[in-house]
Amino acid sequence: MCMAATTNINNNVPNNYIVMKIEGKPIQCLVDTGSVSTVISCTFAKKLGLDIKPCANNIFSANGAPLRVVGVADVTFYLKGLRIPYTLRVVEGLAPHLVLGIHFMKANKVSVNYIDGTVRFYEDLIIVPLQGYDSRDNCVFVRQTVCIPKYAEAVIPVTMPKQYANTCVVLISIRGGNKFKNF
């Protein structure tokens, strides 16, 4: 079994996020096939220390409300050894923090398969599971990808919120042993 991050087990929560890294930090990215632009919140971009270059064009949300674009930022996404350079629009007041839109998906040959709950890059070169939104305030995250053979146990380093300090946690594969194989 291979595990890289927690996955939301609440079936009532839509699974429409993937995890990629920017600046060495795992980021939950909303996969939004209805969004043309790929955007990041201004607050989050600053938190990541991204260099924001001024840009004055506005875009519109799904409900028609204008979103104020304060600039653009060049980033490199990291996904299972794949490096994906991309220029994001930086938007004020955006929630969630990062939205992957159609331009990003076309540029990186992304397909979303809601039947098996996966996102596929470059004709199945990389396959990652869709997951629900997880708040870091309520989740334990493994620090690095760890492969554990079937029927084995392991002690692995994790990052957890302070309220769970000195607590024993059990991480399990919730989708079956092989579903995390490609994560």
Residue pLDDT, tens place only, 38-77: 999 999 999 999 999 998 787 888 778 888 899 999 999 9
Looking at residue 169, what is its pLDDT?
Answer: 60
Residue pLDDT, tens place only, 124-141: 999 998 888 765 555 667
pLDDT higher at 108 or 11: 108
pLDDT higher at 14 or 87: 87
Query: CA torsion 66→71→77→83, rounded to 10°?
Result: 130
pLDDT-derived band at 31 (thresholds 50, 70, 90) equals: very high
Q: Please state the pTM of the whole predicted model.
A: 0.68
Chain Cα centroid distance, residue 174 = 18
Query: With b meaning 16 or more CB within 10 Å and e meaning fewer, what string describes 29-63?
Result: bbbbeebebbbbbbebbeebebebeeeeeeeeeee
Superfamily name with CATH number, domain 9-134: Acid Proteases (2.40.70.10)
Token pair listed for 24:
């060495």
Question: Can you give the residue ranges of every domain in the chain?
Answer: 9-134
